[in-house]
Chains A and B, each alone.
Chain A
Amino acid sequence: MKKGISTFLALWAIWILIAGFNVTEIILGGAVALILAFIVSKYVNYSFGFSIVLGALKFVFVYIPVFIYKLVIANLDMAYRVLSPKMPINPGIVKVPTEIKNDFGKLVLANSITLTPGTLSLDVEDGHVLVHWVNVKGSTEEEYKKEISKDFDKILGGIIK
């Protein structure tokens, strides 16, 4: 039952986002989502609880602003490196430890590393992210972690268990 309601809400929200706010669309979307939710709900294995909604809100209001800020910094940094005639780069591949266990958390962390200044995640192994770094600083894993993923690790660890 809980699965059915969750599926219904997710389908309806996506329908409204795509079709737009309009009385007929909302009613039709609701009907279609209800039918689909009855059919599909046997096969899904997630459900919305209060904690997930809270987590999503935290994700949007705590994580997204940090992410946007880092993304803008990343682009200015990249623009500087691309445009300066000497090309101040010192690239290398490093291993960064992480405490996040959950698959979705790992995905978000790897994506965040890719979109933050000068780093590109290559591979995720158990407890490690393999990162290509344009301008390597430091020489130990702890130093790498401090530079690359500390903020994200902390925020994501608080949201996704």
Chain B
Amino acid sequence: MIIAGNILMVIGGVFLLLGGFGVLRMPDVFNRIQAGTKATTLGAFSLILGVGFVHPQWLLKLILIIVFIAITNPVGSSVLARAAYKKGAYQYKKEGEERSEVK
């Protein structure tokens, strides 16, 4: 149980690190938000669940925290991306790619 918890925590940490790389490497604001949101959501889930395995008496509360993260995290990033879209932020295009944009 404790070993499984520790493994989950390491996996969570790795995903959070990858999220950080994603935010650094991606070319425009939308792709950065994407990398950030996905990695932090699963990373936080995994990390919190790992803590729950190590301390089983906290498990219910930690699951409640996971539920709130699952509700709020995508909403937050969606709102940020919407604001950037309405403002007309720079959109990266693959070279030589022409596409009619949705208005």
Contact = CB atoms under 8 A, between A and B. Distances in A.
A4 interface: no
B28 A91 contact: yes
Interface stretch (A34-42, A110-118, A147-155): A110-118
A120 B77 contact: yes
Contacts of A83: 18, 21
A74 to B, nearest CB: 5
Nearest to B99: A92
Contact of A93 (B45, B97, B101): B101
Contacts of B97: 90
Interface in A19-71: 20, 71
Q: Most chain-A CB neighbours within 10 Å: which of B34, B42, B82?
A: B34
B77 A114 contact: yes
Given A89-B94, A90-B97, A111-B75, A120 B34 contact: yes
Contacts of B70: 111, 115
Contacts of A90: 94, 97
A72 interface: yes
Contacts of B102: 93-95, 130
A89 B82 contact: no
Contacts of B28: 91
Contact of B34 (A18, A92, A134): A134
Contact of B30 (A17, A72, A91): A91
B60 A132 contact: no
A79 interface: yes
B26 A115 contact: no
A10 interface: no
Given A83-B21, A110-B74, A115 B37 contact: yes
A72 B78 CA distance: 19
B60 A17 contact: yes
Interface in B1-21: 15, 18, 21
4 closest A-B pairs by CB:
A114-B74, A111-B74, A82-B22, A132-B30
Interface of B: 15, 18, 21-22, 25-28, 30-31, 33-35, 37-39, 41-42, 45, 57, 60-61, 64, 70-71, 74-75, 77-78, 81-82, 85, 91-94, 97, 99, 101-102
Given A18-B61, A114-B74, A132-B30, 12 more contacts: A78-B22, A78-B34, A91-B91, A91-B92, A93-B91, A111-B78, A114-B78, A115-B38, A115-B74, A118-B34, A120-B30, A134-B34
